[in-house]
Chains A and B, each alone.
Chain A
């Protein structure tokens, strides 16, 4: 396998096509335009590949839903304000159990915000995002290699659980370049039973999210909930970095986790035993894995490029077993490792 140097947005596109994505619809929005452009350029060379520049993010997600129902591997992408528009369709895909990949290259918010990297969409991503009782699997890559690997894995999980999967990255991840190796994609496993192709000579099928009978809708909700508990049991991913002797552990994901690694390097050079706990799946959140750390570590610092959203999940996970501090830079601000190291160093003095 050859190593290639590519930017994050292009890597997602290439990984998707290699994973067998054959339908992409999207609407331009910064900072993810390179992905839409990559799909426009490369889908036309992929056998049976379809690219549509849609009239809106709403149209894009519904095109993707239709193509998914018709049996294609599908993806759409956008950035924060555009992801808000897609929520109606994501909720609908969750209800109809349609697989599909939604990429959110987050930017500063709320509202139109700005086009700088941010992590303000954590709540939206991990709590379903649209209306109703559902969740989506959320991957938070922190390197370009992970963008490639997790994009491919996302298609497999979307099919396995018949559910939308979100890749949650930010403008920094989308724009930066790193060498990457594309792994061999797995063969697709997805039953024809879930695909609409026309009834042929057989019985016709329908896919719906509307269940007027209360008991039917309640059972459908419980069915989805059972699926989500299987996902929670089987699909959690996280990275633990230098935690063996850690007196203080930083909890961070995505770009923030990269900054944290830089800070940890500086802190350790100065004798401070600091580690990193990095959730790779934000939903399901690695709750038990984080709680297990609290047996030895009594001080945690949650670091996010937001005013504190994952912080809630860390609190729920640690359940008061350890002390939690928070450092955040919302609105598109990206702190340096040195800034974070200073914050941690001040806290570390108290730990000692």
Chain B
């Protein structure tokens, strides 16, 4: 019998995604499910999906989940994690959720060093509501509420979450990845795994920012969307590791014990 080399992760329900063709959410969901399988933590994981396109994440991820009001995911995740410190708790958030309406909850959960993982989908636009300007919309990018392009004087600048959060002392690990090519998808999977591992080792707050295509609201086809991430979006939001204290935290913990 042939060896099975590819299949549906156990932690992903057998359901068809409602996401638009070419959307990065379904890839991110799958990667989370793969990591949960790999770390064998399905039974102890609790996820907090956001308001936004991913509000229905509980239809796909086969772990316990509770939906948070818009932007409040990290506050809710903090409440869950502090109540059940031995569970693996993650919040899944879009750019409006994390960097606009929920910036306070996200910032302070990070600053408290809550031992949770945040998966942050940055697609430079409000997806579910139909393509309005997001805090991460890049300069000159046209959206339904910046029809002439984002203007730095009128609209301010795109918020660079990974750069900004990496300044917080409470944060242990932050990486920005992309899901626009097989290589980048693999890198993203490794980053998500590292984030969950960081939490399992009790090392505190971590965040994985994922540059993710939104062909529908970018008014591009999926291939051009992937190219746009490489050629335009990643110039404002360069991928890379912005903070990684995992080695020193581990060393300090070993020294203490």
Asked whether A67 lies within 8 Å of B80 as measured between CB atoms, the reply is yes
- Asked if B155 is an interface residue, CB under 8 A from chain A, the answer is no
Contact flags B81-108 to A (C-beta < 8 A → 1, else 0): 0111001100000000000000011011
Asked whether A200 lies within 8 Å of B67 as measured between CB atoms, the reply is no
| Residues in B neighbouring A64, C-beta threshold 8 A | 79
Shortest Cβ distance from residue B198 to the other chain A in the assembled complex, whole angstroms: 18
| Residues in A neighbouring B108, C-beta threshold 8 A | 54-55, 59
- Asked if A1 is an interface residue, CB under 8 A from chain B, the answer is no
Asked whether B42 lies within 8 Å of A69 as measured between CB atoms, the reply is no
- Asked if A320 is an interface residue, CB under 8 A from chain B, the answer is no
Shortest Cβ distance from residue B42 to the other chain A in the assembled complex, whole angstroms: 7
User: What CA separation (Å) do A195 and B61 show in the bound complex?
Assistant: 18
Asked whether B45 lies within 8 Å of A198 as measured between CB atoms, the reply is yes
| Residues in B neighbouring A58, C-beta threshold 8 A | 72, 75, 104-105
Given A196-B64, A207-B67, are A25 and B79 also a contact pair (CB < 8 Å)?
yes
| Residues in A neighbouring B61, C-beta threshold 8 A | 204
- Asked if B44 is an interface residue, CB under 8 A from chain A, the answer is yes
| Residues in A neighbouring B75, C-beta threshold 8 A | 54, 58-60, 62-63, 66
Asked whether A62 lies within 8 Å of B83 as measured between CB atoms, the reply is no
| Residues in A neighbouring B46, C-beta threshold 8 A | 70, 196-198
Asked whether B64 lies within 8 Å of A66 as measured between CB atoms, the reply is no
Q: Of A55, A62, A88, which contacts B76 at CB under 8 A?
A: A62
Asked whether B72 lies within 8 Å of A70 as measured between CB atoms, the reply is no
Asked whether B55 lies within 8 Å of A210 as measured between CB atoms, the reply is yes
- A contact residues, total (Cβ < 8 Å): 40
Asked whether A66 lies within 8 Å of B66 as measured between CB atoms, the reply is yes
User: What CA separation (Å) do A272 and B68 show in the bound complex?
Assistant: 56
* A window 39-88: CB within 8 A of B: 50, 52, 54-56, 58-60, 62-72, 74, 88
Q: Of A70, A207, A208, A210, which contacts B79 at CB under 8 A?
A: A70
User: What CA separation (Å) do A349 and B216 show in the bound complex?
Assistant: 75
Q: Of B43, B51, B64, B83, which contacts A201 at CB under 8 A?
A: B43
User: What CA separation (Å) do A52 and B76 show in the bound complex?
Assistant: 12
Chain B interfacial positions (CB closer than 8 Å to A): 42-46, 48, 51, 55-56, 58, 61-69, 72, 75-80, 82-84, 87-88, 104-105, 107-108, 112
20 sampled A-B residue pairs with Cβ under 8 A: A23-B83, A59-B72, A59-B105, A62-B69, A65-B79, A66-B66, A68-B79, A69-B66, A69-B80, A72-B83, A88-B69, A88-B72, A196-B46, A198-B44, A204-B42, A204-B64, A204-B65, A205-B64, A208-B58, A210-B55
Given contacts A23-B83, A64-B79, A206-B66, 18 further A-B contacts (CB under 8 A): A23-B79, A50-B83, A52-B78, A52-B82, A52-B112, A54-B75, A58-B75, A62-B69, A62-B75, A66-B83, A89-B69, A96-B67, A197-B46, A200-B43, A204-B63, A206-B58, A208-B66, A210-B55
